[in-house]
A and B are shown apart, each in its own frame.
Chain A
């Protein structure tokens, strides 16, 4: 059983399109995250949710909108895709957002905007 699963794993789309990446965790964790890994492999947090409530919203264009229908799901919707949005997007979850617990990552979604 996959603990944190993202779909799709690969996504190729044209500029200007709207797309969504889905994330589900079956670990019963309260906290979920989206991270972006750019072409230089640099990882940076985008959003964090705790029990469906947004607690971190880093400096991200408002074309990116996270949605958490329940605490097991955190989806990422991206409007008007741009070339610079090409990256690998990782979903992660942790029991309670505390450092003494482990964050589990999904396998990543490689988004390519052409």
Chain B
């Protein structure tokens, strides 16, 4: 069974600084996808970034980038130039690439506070 672990329940960062959220996962699959979702206080789940396991290049989306270490099964999220609007809970998630069920397996989440 696949598992996703986020070892940092809470983190804080000063506005404009950089912060990295950690995520590790366990799977025997070779074809899979990894995601970071953001859940602000509004409760809405928002996709931040996605990484295909077969791609060696790390995904980037504006101020958000990942460090994907496939051998180590690590998938960290780096937020550059942090903004107050980045304050939210962040979830790392895994999806098996076969079967097309679309099932997301989530980590426990990391609450990020951006301080002015």
Q: Identify the A interface with B (CB < 8 A).
A: 31, 33, 35, 40-45, 48, 50, 55-56, 88, 90, 92, 94, 96-100, 102-103, 105, 107-108, 110
Q: Identify the B interface with A (CB < 8 A).
A: 32-33, 39, 42-47, 50, 52, 89, 91, 95-97, 100-106, 108-109
Please report the C-alpha to C-alpha distance between residue A108 and residue B43 in the assembled complex, in whole angstroms: 7
Which residues of B lie under 8 Å from residue A31 when comparing CB positions?
102
The 7 closest A-B pairs by CB, nearest first: A99-B33, A97-B102, A105-B45, A43-B106, A97-B100, A99-B95, A108-B43
Please report the C-alpha to C-alpha distance between residue A3 and residue B47 in the assembled complex, in whole angstroms: 14
Which residues of B lie under 8 Å from residue A96 when comparing CB positions?
100, 102
Q: Is the CB of B89 within 8 A of A99?
A: no
**Shortest beta-carbon distance, B3 to chain A, in Å?**
12
List 16 other contacts, CB 8 Å, given A33-B102, A45-B104, A98-B97.
A35-B104, A42-B108, A42-B109, A43-B104, A43-B109, A45-B103, A45-B105, A48-B102, A50-B100, A90-B45, A92-B45, A97-B101, A99-B95, A99-B96, A100-B52, A103-B102
